[in-house]
Structure 1
Amino acid sequence: MKADVKNLGDIILFVDKFYEKVQYDELIGPVFAGVIQNWTPHLEQMYRFWNAALFGVPGFRGNPFAKHAPLAIEEKHFERWLILFTETIDEDFEGEIATAAKNRAGLMAEMFLRRLRGMNGDPAKVIV
């Protein structure tokens, strides 16, 4: 039986494994490669994000949607992102928090897609 996600160390494990997959993925890898030259700050931000999202630990600041809105991403990119994320969680974890992580990832993808569609390709719309 696999353990549940318990702490920041577990978050670091799944974030690092996930983004390694992302970097080598033929569909979403190029999207990230076009905007991230140094992965360390991005990974550190993701550790803070997931620590806040899963355990309520303060420290995350940012607007994830604003960072993603200018990218050339579509539904197929979010689908791949979710497949890789779920696969990564399932490799090492199971339990309430692992399930919550997968559910939050799904909700984020859905919200991002809905907001991107609402922009209707208009770069002049304000992103808040």
Structure 2
Amino acid sequence: MIKKDISNRADVELLVNTFYDRIRQNEKIGFYFNETISDWDSHLEKLTDFWDTQLLNARNFKGNPRTAHIKVDNRFNHEITTKEFGEWLNLWFKTVNELFKGEVAQTAKDRARKMSTHLFMNMYRYRKVDA
């Protein structure tokens, strides 16, 4: 397969669907997703909107990833660590690299790295810690 860069919504959809198929099967972090997301079709559509906006400036995403991740962290009693985010990020990089190459593909990896750090730091910041 000759790899090309991410250039349209169909490419973003392929990336998102392939990645989350792998996430759902991942023994280390899949359960966080599988136990939280009840409607995968609508969630994948929302994630495609998110990445379409991030990568192709589509401006069709509506939502608050920070709040959503804080809720998930609360649900799992704050056991989510940088290790889980690292697993997510490594799988994202592997999926991007297998499917695409080019400037937008690199942007997908760069934004995911930045986003994972931002989301984890916000989750950590909002944890209620007994003094």
Question: TM (normalized to structure 2)?
Answer: 0.88
Partner of 2:119: 112
After superposition, residues 47-58 of structure 1 pair within 5 angstroms as 47-58=48-59
Aligned amino acid, residue 64 of structure 1: P
Q: CA deviation at 1:59?
A: 1.1
Pairwise CA RMSD: 1.3
- Aligned residues, how many? 122
Q: CA deviation at 1:2?
A: 1.8
1:23 aligns with 2:30: no
Partner of 2:3: 2
1:103 aligns with 2:86: no
1:32 aligns with 2:38: no
Q: CA deviation at 1:117?
A: 2.1
Q: What are structure 2's unaligned runs of at least 5 residues?
A: none
Q: What are structure 1's unaligned runs of at least 5 residues?
A: 124-128
CA distance in 2, matches of 1:115, 1:70: 11
Q: Which moved more, 1:40-49 or 1:69-78?
A: 69-78
* Deviating 4+ runs (over 6 angstroms): none
Contact 2:69/2:123, CA 8 A, preserved across alignment: no
Q: CA deviation at 1:115?
A: 1.3
Q: CA deviation at 1:63?
A: 0.1
Partner of 1:64: 65
Which residue, 87, 90, 100 being the options, matches 1:83? Answer: 90
1:41 aligns with 2:42: yes
Question: TM (normalized to structure 1)?
Answer: 0.90
